[in-house]
Amino acid sequence: MALDSRSERRANDLRAGNLARVLDVLRLQGPLARTEIVRAVGLSRATVSTLLSELLDRGLVREGVDNRRAGSGGRPPALVDLEPTAAVGVGVDIGRTHVRVVVADLGLNVLAEDVQRVDVPDHPQEALKLVGQMTDALVKESGVDCGELLGVGVGLPGPVDRMSGRLGSATILPGWVGLAPRAELERRLRSPVLVENDANLGALAEGLLGAGRGSKVLVYVKAAAGVGAGLVVDGRLFRGASGTAGEIGHTTLANSGPVCRCGNRGCLEQVAGATALLGQMAAAGVQLDSVEDLLRLAHDGHAGARRVIADAGEHIGLAVANFVTLIDADRVVVGGELGAAGELLVGPLRYAARSAAVTTAGSSIEIVGGELGERAEVLGAVVLVLREPVSLGAELLARR
């Protein structure tokens, strides 16, 4: 009797594990034909068929004909994909002057979105309160049942400690160092919260939905007040041992340069960060309040503004060349507030990166502007919740 129930339990665990495997394969590679699923999970055709029947019954996957895959004359195969309405996630992007929130379903369709301005660096509690209010309002607006909410992904400008969810000292939000925004937001939102560095989120989003689609090793450069980079390898975020992989803003360009807020000298950010560029304009007698003002001036043909942006591109390009040579990336996507300058920034960046990278890496690498603009980080935050956790399959099964 005891033996029977134990072997029964083992069979149940095995089945649950296999169901989760199928869901995870669909999350990363879907939509897929049944034969492709069989190959990807490495189980028999009959077993996969039983698993799919159960997932279809529970409303976690759907099956339909995709005409885009129609062959020459043949009938297009039926494709299996995650059911978009099976779960919902929230993405939050906390910048220096704004909070942006989206609600999206498992199919990454945006159901509701809002952005509001707030002084984030000096008023952390106010910003976190606003995140809570905006999230509650948008979840209500999109008609989502709280039970369907899988979690909330939050992007912050700076390296985030993976264990504690706290911000590291290299952030551009000194007033936030040592705060625990994850715990604070979990309390406010009554939902699991994942906190991540904003450049990593931009990388995730551009890799899945934007200019990084189809790349193997993608570097996303976020050129804004700070300069950061995120790395996506085979569709998965690469964070490094402690979560700070890709902090190119604090790589050294000149050991004799001015002292940086991180404690080193001559960091990239000090010559190519947006704050530095506004400083260079001020030194030339042009007082500007924001990056948008700088871009507008450059767009109108102001020689100094154009030069400052082009030089920033060249400096970032040198740092990118070193990075790309080390990791053998095949694509670089440039985003962030400064990335909105387009070819004015990306042209010199591309030229410098290609000249300085090892020939084999430098010649084959594609360096392009981002496609998602100022929404890259918030979309990455929702991708983090809906597509990135390894255990998503198990998480979904536990809910239905």
Cα–Cα distances (Å) from 8 to 2, 3, 15, 38, 88, in that order, read 10, 8, 11, 25, 33
- The answer to whether 262 contacts Zn ion (rule: CB under 5 A) is yes
Beta strand 366-369 pairing with 331-335 = parallel
Q: 229 phi and psi, to 5 degrees?
A: -140, 145
Minimum distance of Zn ion from residue 242's CB (angstroms) = 17
Minimum Å distance from CB 167 to Zn ion?
16
CB nearer Zn ion, residue 227 or residue 349: 227
Max distance between CA atoms of the chain, in angstroms, equals 87
Q: 260 or 319: whose CB is closer to Zn ion?
A: 260
Point out which span in 222-230, 245-253, 287-295, 390-398 binds Zn ion (CB under 5 A): 245-253
Q: Which is nearer to Zn ion, 133 or 264 (CB)?
A: 264
Q: Hey, which residues does 80 pair with through a beta bridge? A: 32, 63
Q: Which stretch binds Zn ion (CB under 5 A): 63-71, 243-251, 279-287, 385-393?
A: 243-251
The alpha helices in 142-197, defined as continuous H runs, are 181-189
What string marks each residue from 13 to 52 as x (binds Zn ion by CB under 5 A) or -? ----------------------------------------
- Name which position in 250, 315, 354, 375 contacts Zn ion (CB under 5 A): 250
| Crossing angle for the helix pair 343-356 and 303-327, to the nearest 10 degrees | 40
Count the site residues for Zn ion by CB under 5 A: 5
Q: Which lies closer to Zn ion via its Cβ, residue 31 or residue 158?
A: 158
Nearer to Zn ion (CB atom), residue 133 or residue 322: 322
Give me the residue label for tokens 């998602």: 372
Nearest approach in angstroms of CB 248 to Zn ion is 10
CB of 269 to Zn ion, least distance (A): 6
Q: How far apart are CA 25 and CA 21, in angstroms?
A: 6
Return the beta strands (E) in 106-183 as ranges: 110-117, 149-156
Give backbone dihedrals phi and psi of 16, rounded to 5 degrees, phi first: -60, -40
| Cis peptide bond upstream of 31, omega within 30 | yes
Minimum CB separation of residue 168 from Zn ion in Å reads 12
Smallest separation, CB 272 to Zn ion (Å) = 12
User: Which whole-number Å values give the CA distances from 259 to 168, 213, 252, 270, 271, in the listed order?
Assistant: 19, 38, 11, 9, 12
Measured from the CB of residue 271, what is the shortest distance to Zn ion in angstroms? Answer: 11
Site string for Zn ion, 267-286 (x = CB under 5 A): x-------------------
Binding of residue 253 to Zn ion (CB under 5 A): no
Q: Segment 352-371, which members bind Zn ion (CB under 5 A)?
A: none
Site string for Zn ion, 113-152 (x = CB under 5 A): ----------------------------------------
Output 250 or 387, the one with its CB closest to Zn ion. Answer: 250
Closest approach, Cβ 243 to Zn ion, in A, equals: 17
Among the candidate windows 44-52, 60-68, 96-104, 242-250, which touches Zn ion by CB under 5 A?
242-250
Spell out a b/e string for 82-100, using b for 16 or more CB atoms within 10 Å of the CB, else e: bbeebbbbbbbbbbbebbb
Shortest reach from residue 274's CB to Zn ion, in Å:
15
Q: Choose the stretch contacting Zn ion; rule: CB under 5 A; options: 101-109, 263-271, 281-289, 313-321.
A: 263-271
Please name the residue that has the structure tokens 């939102």: 189
Structure tokens at 13: 């665990």
Sign of the dihedral through C-alpha 196, 202, 208, 214: negative
CB of residue 166 to Zn ion, shortest distance in Å: 19
Q: Pick from 48, 260, 321, 385: which binds Zn ion (CB under 5 A)?
A: 260
Phi-psi region of 37 (alpha: psi -120 to 50; beta: other; left: phi over 0): alpha
Closest CA to 349 of 367, 365, 331: 367
Return residues touching Zn ion (CB under 5 A): 250, 260, 262, 264, 267
